Amino acid sequence: MITYRNMFSACTLIMALLFSGQVYGAVSIDARVDKNVVSFDDQVTLTLNVNADARSISNPEMPEIKEFEIYSSGSSQSYNFINGEISSSVTYTYVIAPYDTGNFVIPPFSVRVQGREYKSDPINIRVVDTGQKGKTATKSPQRSTRTKKPKSANDKLFITAELNKRKAYVNEQVILTFKFYQAIRIRGNPELEKPSFDGFWIEDLPPQKKYYEHIDGTRYYVVEIKTALFPTSPGEKEIDPFKLTIMPDEFSTFFGRDPFDAFFNRRKPSQPEVLYSNRLKLDVKPLPVENKPANFTGAVGQFSLRAAPDVVEVEVNEPINYTITITGSGNIKAVDRPELNVPPEFRSYPSNASENINKNNYRLGGTRVFEEVLIPKSPGTFELSPVRFSYFDPDKEKYIRMESKSYSFKVNPSSVAESENGLPSAIQDIGTSVKDLRYLKTDLSVKQSRVVYYNSPVFWVLQALPIFAVFGVLALRKRKDKMEGDIAYARSKRAKAVANKVLKSAREYLNGDDQRQFYQAISKALTGYIADKLSVSASGLTTDTLKESLNGKVPESTIKESLEILRTCDFYRFASIEDTDNQSEQFVERVQDNIMELEKSFKK
């Protein structure tokens, strides 16, 4: 007998066979470089692409290249399903730097797939003198110094940190650049400990840059990491040094490998070395009070505004989707929903809010989209005022006021027939042609006992059910109307359910070992709950406004607990420090208890 389980197993087996056959049959290896002519002080990026099942690929065997220094910079995998065919590939990336000028050949790379060896094609590279790209090459001298080493730094290993500006406004982006210079090989991965960044909101700026640089006649391999800092308050800010713990191997340099060193220069491996960067200072200026717009909510950068409805002519009770789009560079995540002045003849409901973040050229920016649903209550022609938005431009050092286009809506009477109570009529008359005939019974038995139903409790319960149903429907209708007409009431009623839903997602991040997302979800749950109860925007709910809004409504101890929870969340979200106490589950219960105490206070 064929069962669904057998059919499913058979289909799975067939798909597995097809998948393995397709991937193995399409094995190929391809090696490419980003340029074939390179200056002596430059580098080449080599990409090795292997089209095969990633699970069956062995690590590539790098050929011996005496004329180049080669360094792996990672790998990536991809899967594609096109026209019913499944394919996968693995891409390996290498950084190559020349030792000398001239014409050279990079030998083939070798990869084994399911025990079978595949080789790439050789690649021709021409290395020319510095600044003479495309001309006949001669041996290049050492490049001049571009970076000055710290006086106390190790000659072969050191780190630096610098800011792209010394002064900035509150919420203005400042780029911090960390660099690790190494002229010798190191064993294992160095451990980087970042500063706490107290007083800053931080955002990583990928990708990492890897390149070579000559300093005082020594050639260094440099790893560069950039981070966006947004100061949250004015004053002079100090950024603690970076700390890097490494295990150097002083017998194998990047740029001079002598095979006899392994036999004649044997010594004990060096001890772990700890490097520190310089301490940084930033003067954070407050945003000017003069000419500050009333609708300014803290956006700093350069932005544009666009607002438009999907239709301008509708019938009564038909929805209008009004979309507000803010695009630009700066801390786009701090941009709040602009206020919309809706005519009294309309009902308005905040709908979706989405964001698209980009970090092009190490500059944080993107787009935030806010949607509003407008429902006209009566016919006529109505004018919707422009949407107004303001931000502070740190380059121009002044506030910028923007407003969208105003729109006129033509609202026609509803084409749907309505009954006396305002509801659409769905009742159709029943024709009189239908007759229901029943024969009269003439033979009635005297022995039939007559049941008196009104003496039974069940009878009265059944009689009362329709009455209770009517009252129940009226109560539900009243509650629904209030939920739809009173946004503050609706937010307050749904606050706890929404918070519990966000806490559930926090537990999922906890299971996935994603600490930053976990604490972000916890912070979102608590601030969202308080914002819904107070009917304010969650993004604009700062520590001071939260404390001020809760005073007199919630006990002091409960407010203190809420603030402590939010401070803990901010610490682990922005400080880049791992929570090693494994108290995350207890922390969730602590947040739930705090929400319960808040709920009791709001019900009083």
Lookup: tokens for 297? 């909510």
**Among 46-60, 156-170, 188-202, 417-431, which stretch is predicted with the lowest mean pLDDT?**
417-431
Average pLDDT over residues 366-370: 93
| Helix H or strand E segment including 506 | helix 487-511
**Half-sphere exposure (Cβ direction) of 117: Cα atoms closer than 13 Å:** 5
pLDDT of residue 352: 81
Choice between 57 and 541, residue whose per-residue pLDDT is larger: 57
Strand order in the sheet with 280-285: 167-169, 280-285, 235-239
Give per-residue pLDDT as tens, 381-431. 999 999 999 999 999 999 999 999 999 999 999 886 554 444 444 434 444
Q: What is the DSSP string of 107-149?
A: PPPEEEETTEEEEPPPEEEEEE-TT-TTSPP-PPPPPPP-SPP
Among 25-39, 77-91, 292-306, 316-330, the minimum mean pLDDT is found in: 77-91
Q: Which of 18-32, 97-111, 203-217 has the lowest mean pLDDT?
A: 18-32
> Using N-to-C axis directions, what is the helix angle for 543-550 and 556-574, rounded to 10°?
160
Give the residue-averaged pLDDT of 162-187: 91
Report the pLDDT averaged over residues 211-215.
86
What pLDDT, on the 0 to 100 scale, is given for residue 444? 53
As a CATH number, domain 157-285 is 2.60.40
Q: 301-412 in CATH: which number?
A: 2.60.40.740
* pLDDT over 80 (residue 599): yes
Note the pLDDT of residue 144: 35
DSSP string, 362-389: G--EEEEEEEEEEEE-S-EEEEEPPPEE
Q: What is the pLDDT of residue 54?
A: 65
Q: What token pair was written down for 363?
A: 């500059």
Mean pLDDT in residue range 429-436: 42
User: Where in 335-492 does DSSP place strands (E)?
Assistant: 346-358, 365-376, 380-384, 388-393, 398-403, 407-412
- CATH no. for 487-603: 1.20.120
Give 549-572 pLDDT, tens digit per residue: 888 888 888 888 888 888 888 777
- Residue 438: pLDDT band (50, 70, 90) is low
Domain definitions of the chain by residue range: 13-128, 157-285, 301-412, 487-603
Separation of alpha carbons 67 and 64, rounded Å: 9
487-511 and 457-485 helices cross at what angle (nearest 10)? 90
The fold of 13-128 is Immunoglobulin-like (2.60.40)
Tokens of 215: 């300093």
pLDDT digits over 233-267, tens only? Answer: 999 999 999 999 886 554 444 444 444 444 444 44
**Mean local confidence (pLDDT), 72-98:** 70
Domains 13-128 and 157-285 share a fold: yes
In this structure, are residues 320 and 373 in contact, taking their beta carbons and an 8 Å threshold? yes
Nearest to 283 by CA among 165, 175, 363, 198: 165
* Lowest-pLDDT range of 40-54, 104-118, 486-500: 486-500
Lowest mean pLDDT among 94-98, 330-334, 381-385, 586-590: 94-98
Give the pLDDT band of residue 10 (cuts 50, 70, 90): very low
What would the pLDDT profile of 113-160 be if each residue is shown by its tens digit? 887 888 888 999 998 876 554 443 333 333 334 455 554 445 788 999
User: Mean of the pLDDT values across residues 227-238?
Assistant: 94
- Beta-strand relationship, 248-253 and 184-186: antiparallel
Q: What is the C-alpha to C-alpha distance for residues 506 and 521, in angstroms, rounded to an integer?
A: 5
Distance (Å, whole) CA 561 – CA 594: 7
Q: What is the pLDDT of residue 437?
A: 47
